[in-house]
């Protein structure tokens, strides 16, 4: 066969066309930004003119690297925040795995009561925006030392919270830990559920103690999932921005993302790009480790089959207590923050929780210059309405793009499984997951602010938000789709191919109907993530393209906490609402996308 | 084979510029607009109505109210955006270099960067309405100042209306440890500019003198000058760094705190919360060697404006008593036009100038980087 004919044959198969196209596009959208960011760490930006004396915009400089890594400022500016970032990420993993793992074990392995409601509610903190709990923490525990008005806790109990408890490292770790606990719950729970209980029973028959079974059997089997959770939570916590920004700023506790926001947005983007680069490198290392471990896990799971009869551990006397304890804590974490937002959004005079101080002015008021510069209440505020419309529009478009491309990617990757191109595209499609959101936004800003060939300058356009969102959330959709497609036997489609049915029809009539639930999860995850995303978009939005989350951040910074609380409530309402509706209507759910069963 | 090759080649050629570093669009030269012939007011109105629309970016949110009044008066559509100072600078630069037309004029703060980046690079230019050339003092004309805002030392006067300190050095003593608040200078450039001004030789000399007056001995320098020394002492005395002046005003002014030392340096205009949010706040007006600082907001034309006449008309409108209403309805924001009414109980700019520190754009542009690096030691 000639070279040309082979090429022709190759491109006769739709999945090869998809794969090649994806390869080119993803290469451009992931590798080129990496190169751009590296160049940016050596370039003079406009706002650095006052810093680097006598320089011109765009000229080469070593200033950023020498200042960030080797100057008297490096410790405060870079090394300390880096250390803080690692401490926060490790602490978050510990809290998330401890809480998530325990709940997963209780639900899959014991006879605890209220399992259905707990397992539904426990996912909530992950569905809600991460700063929800951070804001709730502030509403409750803020102390007058820094915040002026005391929080609800102090008002109710008259106990003043110490600074370390109210702000900084401890609350950041707690809040992020709770936010990612569902993640651990889903991954570890999935393994526990599929684990062959016969192994444990065999040990039990041989009179091994509970502790010994735990140590020798349960934990070793769960270990790979545990490590995998650890790495994923670690990289997510590392790139978290909103939570450290809310809880760390009052006591000047800095992590890399908050430093990055300050430098990228302020006077020295060069510094920020270096930090972004460092975070991406850590992310890639984590991916490499994760893939090694996942590879091992696959070998592990082949041994274990699904057990037909899992014997549940009896909690005996502790049953009622443990069940109630877990139920009440879950309720506290899910419901109480929402109540506190509602309360905070109605009070006028800060810190005064008496009924006479309640007012609906922040919801439906027409705005007076005495309060917050005449900003109308959020339900009749045109700029908030614009933000809401933009948020919903963005989430819908992004989920359509990311979801569809993800499905096609999953299809093409699993169809040509084993080829080099397939595994390259697989990795490229996962790469955006590792890029810290803010760094990702920064790169796209720097890359697409100017005209590039046939691509017009996209600075300040809605299209840029869609692009960055679609690429960032592609991994969610492609993971869900690859997972589903791997389980689908090739014969089903081949039967149709033999009958000469065109590809489009095969997709619509065969593949999509079979994989409906997984595909819908592939659309749902980008939608929800996009609705509650802050750090990815914070550098990219302009007044015309503002979205709810960035407005919330602005209001909070300005100190208009009633508006911030009200908007937060609005976002939670939309995110949770759409999740529930999709769940009810289609049966698809968010935990499917993350990797549970 | 050939065909495939040609297709592949043309694809590559087509895609190549996508990878090239971005092409910068031509920036319209500001000189062109500046040389236009002077229009009479009526001609300007006619030209503005012809354009029918004006887009403005401003660092003040009340521009929306002024725009409503302007629309009502002239029937010209307005589009306003409220941005933070650095966002505005970033946006104007991006628009100028990428050739996107956005704003027609801006209301910007942060004199150093506005001068050093936007005016010097020709993205913006200053325009003074003909009718105001003889009214606005010359020092506020180049570049044209839109308003002046003051930030003062303000304390909680619930327990006593007696001013709690007389000299800025008192804030560095044990008595004031952890009791004084100031917004993070990284979050608002005018605060960074103020700290930069403090290090300017003539001001740091005054600070050295105030040191001698207060401690009865000469200052011993561990840094470049007395200005740096004061900043260092202030931050080392557990300065509370806040994220917004609103929050600062609230946390200082809330009643029932029973702290005799409780003050901050923030915008005077927050005193409007005294009644609406039930706060206890009072400014200090006799602190040595200064009682705070003031900074200008500039009204500047964008060089590649799509609606230049409407923009000029709007600027003229903003500098009149009528156009300035949204700001003059509260204390603490002053028009450079001395004919604009101020609130009862407030003072005119001429009262503030001698007791507050001004912002020198050139000094700030040259020296702020150094001050910011100095601050990193204490802020992070």
Q: Which residue in A350, A455, A545, A546 has the most chain B C-beta atoms within 10 A of its own C-beta, making it the best mutation to test that interface? A: A350
Equal fold, B27-147+296-354 vs B150-294+366-379: yes
From chain A, pick out residues whose CB is under 8 angstroms from the CB of B121.
46
Q: How many CA atoms lie within 13 A of A307 on its CB side?
A: 19
> Do residue A350 and residue B243 have CB atoms under 8 angstroms apart?
no
A250 burial type by CB count under 10 A (0-12 exposed, 13-18 middle, 19+ buried): buried
Distance of residue A65 Cα from the nearest chain B Cα, in angstroms: 15
- Condensed to tens digits (0 to 9), the pLDDT of residues B281-323 reads 999 999 989 999 999 999 999 998 999 999 999 999 999 999 9
In this prediction, residue B26 carries a pLDDT of 42
Contact of A15 with A416, CB cutoff 8 Å: yes
In this prediction, residue A595 carries a pLDDT of 41
d(CA A454, CA A471): 20
Equal fold, A11-38+392-545 vs A72-359: yes
Residue A122 has pLDDT above 60, yes or no: yes
* Choice among A140-154, A237-251, B189-203 with the minimum mean pLDDT: A140-154
Band of the pLDDT at B4, cuts 50, 70, 90? low
- Condensed to tens digits (0 to 9), the pLDDT of residues A392-421 reads 999 999 999 999 999 899 888 888 877 888
Residue B35 has pLDDT above 60, yes or no: no
Q: What are phi and psi of A328, to 5 degrees?
A: -70, -40
Q: Give mean pLDDT, residues B96-106.
A: 83
In this prediction, residue A310 carries a pLDDT of 58
Closest to A76 (Cβ–Cβ): which among B99, B252, B380? B380
Q: Residue B325: closest CA among chain A residues belongs to which residue? A: A369
Q: How many CA atoms lie within 13 A of A296 on its CB side?
A: 14
Nearest to B197 by CA among B74, B263, B289, B297: B289
Residue whose pair of structure tokens reads 């003062």 in the numeric block: B152
Start-to-end CA span in chain A (Å):
46
- Condensed to tens digits (0 to 9), the pLDDT of residues A466-485 reads 999 999 999 888 877 877 77
DSSP A490: T
> Do residue B277 and residue A371 have CB atoms under 8 angstroms apart?
yes
From chain B, pick out residues whose CB is under 8 angstroms from the CB of A270.
none
Contact of B269 with B332, CB cutoff 8 Å: yes
d(CA A359, CA B210): 47
* Choice among A369-373, A374-378, A416-420 with the minimum mean pLDDT: A369-373
% of chain B beyond a pLDDT of 70: 90
What 3 state SS string does chain B have?
CHHHHHHHHHHHHHHHHHHCCCECCCCCCHHHHHCCCCCCHHHHHHHHHHHCEEEEEECCCCHHHHHHHHHHHHCCEEEEEECCHHHHHHHHHHHHHHCCCCCCEEEECCHHHHHHHHHCCCCEECCCCHHHCCCCCHHHECCEEEEEEEEEEEECCCCCCCCCCCEHHHHHCHHHCCCEEEECCCCCHHHHHHHHHHCCHHHHHHHHHHHHHHHCCCCCCCCCCHHHHHHHHHHHCCCEEECCHHHHHHHHHECCCCCCCCEEEEEHHHHHHHHHCCECCEECCCCECCCEEEEEEEEEEECCCCCHHHHHHHHHHHCCCCCCHHHHCCCCEECCCCCCCCCCCCCCHHHHHHHCECCCHHHHHHHHHHHHHHHHHHHC
d(CA B317, CA B70): 7
From chain B, pick out residues whose CB is under 8 angstroms from the CB of A146.
240, 251
Nearest to B278 by CA among A436, A125, A172, A148: A148
Band of the pLDDT at B207, cuts 50, 70, 90? very high
In this prediction, residue B231 carries a pLDDT of 95
% of chain A beyond a pLDDT of 90: 14
d(CA A434, CA B81): 34
> Do residue B112 and residue A50 have CB atoms under 8 angstroms apart?
yes
Beta strand B53-58 with B105-108: parallel, antiparallel or unpaired? Answer: parallel
Q: Give mean pLDDT, residues A434-446.
A: 81
DSSP A544: G
* Choice among A280-294, B166-180, B334-348 with the minimum mean pLDDT: A280-294
Listed by start position, the domains of chain A span 11-38+392-545, 72-359
> Do residue A450 and residue B22 have CB atoms under 8 angstroms apart?
yes
Closest to B276 (Cβ–Cβ): which among A50, A259, A370? A370
% of chain A beyond a pLDDT of 70: 91
Q: Does the domain formed by B27-147+296-354 have CATH 3.40.190.10?
A: yes
From chain A, pick out residues whose CB is under 8 angstroms from the CB of B277.
348-350, 371
What 3 state SS string does A418-462 have?
CCHHHHHHHHHHHHHHHCCHHHHHHHHHHHHCCEECCECCCCCCH
Residue B361: both structure tokens together: 């754009």
Instruction: Please tell me the CATH superfamily of domain A72-359, with its number.
Output: MetI-like (1.10.3720.10)
> Do residue A47 and residue B240 have CB atoms under 8 angstroms apart?
no
Q: Give mean pLDDT, residues B46-75.
A: 91
Residue A597 has pLDDT above 60, yes or no: no
Instruction: Please tell me the CATH superfamily of domain B150-294+366-379, with its number.
Output: Periplasmic binding protein-like II (3.40.190.10)
Cα A436 to chain centroid, rounded: 10
In a 3-state reduction of DSSP, which class is residue B154? strand
In this prediction, residue B230 carries a pLDDT of 96
- Condensed to tens digits (0 to 9), the pLDDT of residues B318-361 reads 999 999 999 988 888 999 999 998 888 889 999 999 999 999 99
> Do residue B113 and residue A47 have CB atoms under 8 angstroms apart?
yes
Q: Which CATH class is domain A11-38+392-545?
A: mainly alpha
Residue A28 has pLDDT above 50, yes or no: yes
Averaged pLDDT score across all residues of chain A: 82
Averaged pLDDT score across all residues of chain B: 86
Listed by start position, the domains of chain B span 27-147+296-354, 150-294+366-379
> Do residue A557 and residue B379 have CB atoms under 8 angstroms apart?
no
Residue A162 has pLDDT above 70, yes or no: yes
- Nearby residues of B78 by Cβ (< 8 Å), 6 or more positions away: B53, B54, B55, B56, B67, B68, B70, B71, B314
Among A107-116, A445-454, B22-31, top mean pLDDT goes to A107-116
> Do residue B376 and residue A73 have CB atoms under 8 angstroms apart?
yes
In this prediction, residue A450 carries a pLDDT of 73
């Amino acid at each position: 066969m000639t070279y040309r004919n082979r090429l022709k044959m190759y491109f006769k198969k739709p999945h090869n066309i998809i794969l090649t196209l994806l390869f080119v596009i993803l290469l451009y959208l992931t590798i080129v930004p990496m190169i751009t960011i590296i160049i940016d760490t050596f370039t003079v930006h406009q706002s650095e003119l006052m810093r680097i004396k006598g320089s011109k915009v765009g000229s080469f400089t070593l200033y950023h690297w020498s200042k960030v890594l080797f100057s008297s400022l490096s410790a405060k500016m870079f090394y300390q925040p880096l250390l803080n970032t690692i401490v926060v990420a490790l602490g978050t993993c510990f809290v998330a795995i401890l809480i998530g793992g325990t709940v997963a074990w209780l639900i899959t392995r014991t006879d605890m009561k209220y399992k259905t409601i707990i397992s539904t509610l426990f996912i909530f903190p992950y569905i809600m925006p991460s700063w929800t709990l951070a804001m709730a923490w502030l509403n409750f525990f803020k102390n007058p030392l820094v915040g002026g008005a005391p929080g609800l806790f102090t008002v109710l109990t008259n106990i003043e919270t110490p600074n370390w408890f109210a702000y900084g490292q401890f609350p950041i770790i707690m809040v992020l830990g709770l936010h990612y606990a569902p993640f651990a719950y889903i991954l570890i729970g999935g393994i526990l559920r599929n684990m062959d209980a016969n192994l444990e029973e065999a040990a039990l028959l041989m009179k091994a103690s509970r502790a010994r079974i735990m140590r020798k059997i349960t934990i070793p089997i769960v270990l790979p999932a545990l490590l995998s959770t650890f790495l994923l939570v670690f990289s997510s916590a590392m790139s978290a921005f909103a939570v450290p920004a809310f809880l760390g700023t009052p006591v000047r506790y800095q992590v890399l993302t908050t430093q990055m926001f300050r430098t990228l947005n302020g006077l020295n983007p060069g510094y920020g790009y270096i930090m972004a680069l460092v975070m991406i490198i850590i992310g890639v290392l984590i991916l490499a480790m994760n893939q090694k471990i996942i590879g091992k896990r696959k070998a592990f799971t082949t041994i274990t089959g699904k057990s037909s009869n899992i014997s549940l551990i009896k909690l005996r006397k502790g049953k009622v207590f443990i069940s109630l304890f877990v139920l009440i804590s879950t309720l506290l974490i899910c419901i109480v923050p929402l109540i506190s937002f509602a309360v905070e959004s109605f009070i006028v005079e800060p810190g005064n929780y008496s009924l006479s101080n309640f007012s609906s002015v922040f919801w439906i008021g027409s705005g007076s210059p005495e309060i917050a510069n005449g900003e109308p209440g959020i339900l009749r505020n045109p700029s908030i309405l614009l933000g809401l419309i933009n948020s919903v529009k963005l989430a819908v478009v992004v989920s359509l793009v990311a979801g569809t491309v993800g499905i096609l990617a999953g299809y093409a990757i699993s169809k040509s499984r084993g080829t080099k191109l397939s595994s390259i595209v697989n990795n490229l499609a996962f790469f955006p997951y590792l890029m810290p959101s803010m760094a990702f936004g920064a790169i796209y800003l720097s890359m697409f602010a100017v005209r590039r060939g046939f691509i017009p300058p996209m600075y300040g356009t809605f299209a840029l938000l869609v692009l960055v969102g679609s690429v960032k959330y592609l991994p969610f959709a492609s993971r869900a789709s690859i997972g589903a497609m791997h389980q689908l036997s090739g014969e089903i489609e081949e039967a149709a191919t033999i009958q000469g049915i065109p590809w489009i029809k095969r997709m619509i009539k065969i593949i999509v109907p079979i994989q409906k639930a997984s595909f819908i999860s592939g659309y749902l995850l980008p939608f929800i993530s996009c609705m509650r995303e802050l750090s990815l978009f914070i550098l990219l939005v302009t007044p015309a393209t503002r979205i709810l989350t960035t407005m919330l951040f602005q209001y909070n910074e300005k100190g208009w906490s009633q508006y911030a609380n009200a908007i937060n409530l609005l976002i939670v309402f939309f995110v949770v609402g759409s999740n529930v509706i999709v769940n009810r209507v289609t049966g698809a759910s968010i935990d499917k996308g993350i990797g549970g069963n | 084979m050939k065909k495939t090759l040609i297709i592949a080649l043309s694809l590559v050629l087509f895609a190549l510029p996508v990878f090239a570093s971005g092409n910068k669009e031509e920036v319209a030269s500001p000189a062109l607009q500046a040389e236009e012939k002077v229009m009479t007011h009526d001609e300007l109105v006619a030209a503005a109505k012809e354009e029918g629309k004006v887009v403005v970016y401003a660092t003040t949110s009340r521009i929306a109210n002024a725009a409503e009044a302007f629309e009502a008066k002239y029937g010209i559509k307005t589009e306003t955006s409220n941005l933070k100072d650095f966002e505005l600078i970033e946006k104007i630069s991006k628009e100028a270099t990428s050739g996107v037309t956005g704003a027609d004029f801006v209301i910007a703060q942060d004199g150093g960067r506005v001068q050093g980046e936007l005016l010097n690079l020709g993205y913006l230019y200053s325009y003074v309405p003909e009718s105001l050339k003889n009214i606005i003092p010359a020092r506020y004309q180049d570049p044209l100042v839109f308003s002046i805002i003051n930030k003062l030392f303000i304390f909680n006067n619930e327990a006593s209306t007696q001013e709690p300190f007389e000299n800025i050095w008192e804030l560095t003593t044990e008595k004031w440890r952890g009791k004084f608040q100031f917004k993070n200078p990284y979050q608002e450039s005018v605060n960074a500019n103020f700290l930069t001004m403090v290090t300017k030789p003539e001001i740091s000399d005054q600070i050295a003198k105030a040191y001698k007056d207060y401690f009865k001995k000469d200052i011993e320098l561990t840094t470049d000058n007395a200005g740096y020394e004061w900043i260092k002492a202030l931050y080392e005395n557990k300065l509370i760094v806040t994220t917004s002046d609103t929050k600062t005003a609230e946390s200082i002014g809330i009643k029932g705190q029973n702290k005799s030392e409780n003050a901050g340096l923030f915008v005077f205009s927050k005193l409007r919360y005294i009644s609406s949010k039930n706060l206890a706040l009072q400014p200090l007006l006799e602190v040595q060697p200064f009682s705070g600082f003031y900074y200008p907001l500039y009204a500047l034309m964008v060089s590649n404006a799509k609606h230049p006449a409407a923009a000029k008309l709007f600027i003229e409108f903003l500098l009149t008593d009528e156009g300035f209403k949204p700001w003059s309805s509260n204390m603490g924001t002053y028009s450079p036009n001395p004919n604009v009414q101020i609130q009862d109980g407030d003072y005119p700019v001429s009262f503030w100038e001698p007791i507050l520190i001004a912002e020198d754009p050139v000094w700030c542009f040259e020296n702020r980087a150094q001050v910011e690096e100095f601050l990193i030691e204490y802020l992070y």
